[in-house]
């Protein structure tokens, strides 16, 4: 019996809600796609602060935006 290895690509529709959050976080971590987890940084709080300032017409949210960019990308502006 002769064996051959064949590689193929398959497209599958998956309901992402059927996965556990912890499994998704593990996959993102394995890919190196998780935002930096640094003390004092919370991306949800930063987005909320930016949103609130913009909603109130306050354009002075650059510090929060810089922190958010650093937390997500790990890069300083």
Range of the domain at 49: 16-73
In a domain, 4, yes or no: no
pLDDT digit string (tens) for the chain, length 77 residues: 789 999 999 999 989 889 998 898 888 888 877 665 556 667 788 889 999 999 999 999 999 898 888 877 777 87
In a domain, 54, yes or no: yes
- Cβ-contact 76, 67 below 8 angstroms: no
Query: How many domains, the chain?
Result: 1
In a domain, 9, yes or no: no
The backbone region for 74, taken as left when phi is positive above 0, alpha when psi lies in -120 to 50, beta otherwise, is: left
pLDDT confidence of residue 68? 84
In a domain, 2, yes or no: no
Measured distance CA(33)–CA(29) in Å, rounded: 6
pLDDT confidence of residue 75? 79
| pTM attached to this predicted model | 0.48
């Amino acid at each position: 019996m002769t064996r051959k290895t064949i590689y193929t690509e398959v497209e599958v529709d998956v309901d992402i809600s059927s996965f556990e959050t912890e499994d998704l976080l593990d996959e993102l971590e394995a890919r190196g796609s998780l935002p930096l987890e640094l003390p004092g940084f919370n991306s949800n709080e930063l987005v909320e602060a930016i949103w609130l300032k913009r909603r109130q017409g306050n354009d002075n949210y650059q510090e929060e935006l810089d922190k958010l960019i650093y937390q997500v990308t790990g890069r300083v502006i």
